[in-house]
Amino acid sequence: MKVLVVEDEKKIASLIRKDLEARGFVVDVAHRGDEGFTLASTQPYDVIVLDIMLPGRDGLSILRGLRERGMDVPVLLLTARSELNERLEGLNLGADDYLTKPFYIEELGARILALGRRASGIARSLLQVADLTVNLINREVTRGGRKLELTNREFVLLERLMRSPGRVFTRSQILEQAWDSDFDPGTNLVDVYVQRLRKKVDSETDVRLIETVRGVGYRIRGPD
């Protein structure tokens, strides 16, 4: 599992990182809220550990921003305060769990593992952007109720884009992440498959979901 820890207290962040890495997790750490939001909104994570009180941007604002973008990554909130209103606000914004400081590092690790397992189940098997839906279990893709027939590579490409709505992927990133192969970076393979995918996804609707960002790459349209 890949975990993002957004915690401004460096000693606590270091302890969390060491414990999670000892469990075999890959861990990124941010000490400021703005840095944490940038990582959370541009990189794929299985779980995010998010302190509420942060410099730059507070944890609840980060959580709200992620959910508004349609990102359903599991979030565990850390707080030094125990007021009911704060916990309720976090849960209402879409937090999946919370832990009040001080806490046992073993309990935090167990909760993160539980969130990761839960997220890898049925609830995470369905990706949706607007009226486009991808079922990762039966590999069924529909747009406005209409079933789309995709090749394996088209499906993998669409899945990668839909896991991060609004995020722009360069052609090199798509080659590395969607195909996991060492292709010539000058190949037009990505452009060819994007055009094929676009014809199937966007051809019969006025709302275009697959967008070209000129000079950069491609993305699936995120929430307005």
For the chain, give every domain's residue range: 2-123, 125-220
- Domain 125-220 bears CATH identifier 1.10.10.10: yes
Q: How many CB atoms lie within 10 A of CB 207?
A: 11
For the record, the structure tokens of 114 come out as 């539980």
- Domain 2-123 bears CATH identifier 3.40.50.2300: yes
Distant-in-sequence, close-in-space partners of 62: CB < 8 Å, separation ≥ 6? 6, 33, 36, 37, 40, 50, 54
Largest CA distance in the chain: 56
Helix axes of 10-22 and 105-119: crossing angle, nearest 10 degrees? 60
Per-residue pLDDT of the chain (224 residues; tens, 9 = 90+): 789 999 999 999 999 999 998 888 889 999 999 999 999 988 888 899 999 999 999 999 999 999 888 888 899 999 876 666 666 788 888 888 888 888 889 899 989 988 887 766 544 567 888 889 988 778 899 998 899 999 988 998 998 888 778 888 888 888 876 665 555 666 788 899 999 999 999 988 889 999 999 989 999 987 55
Q: What values do phi and psi take at 56, rounded to 5? A: 90, -50
